[in-house]
Amino acid sequence: MRVQSEALYLTDNGACYCGAHLGMTAKATGRDISGQPIHRVTPDDVREAKAIGCDLTCETPRCGRTASALWTPA
């Protein structure tokens, strides 16, 4: 899996980080520290989160990257 720095990923226990702020294990292997595959956030994920009143944003302080429902996978 090739991690993209501007994309958002779901990791351990639903944590959300952009590719630039993922841990080294996730960047190198595509898996979080518990061994589970990381999940790249999709437009459907964004719509589902918004439906329950959540925004998917990078949890790193001062980052501010947010997922968009307009993104189309390559």
Q: What is the pLDDT of residues 28-52, one digit of tens each?
A: 999 998 999 999 999 999 999 999 9
Q: Tell whether the model's pLDDT for residue 69 goes beyond 80.
A: no
Angle (CA) 62-27-48 rounded to 5° is 65
Q: Which of 2, 52, 47 is nearest to 27 (CA)?
A: 2
| pTM for this prediction | 0.87
Listed in sequence order, the residues at least 6 apart from 50 whose beta carbon sits closer than 8 Å to its beta carbon are: 69
Q: Which residues, at least 6 apart from 51, have a Cβ–Cβ distance to it below 8 Å?
A: none
Residue-level pLDDT at 73: 55
Q: Please give the distance of CA 4 from its chain centroid, rounded to a whole number.
A: 10
Q: What is the pLDDT of residue 56?
A: 93
Confidence of residue 14 (pLDDT cuts 50, 70, 90): confident
Band (71; pLDDT cuts 50, 70, 90): low
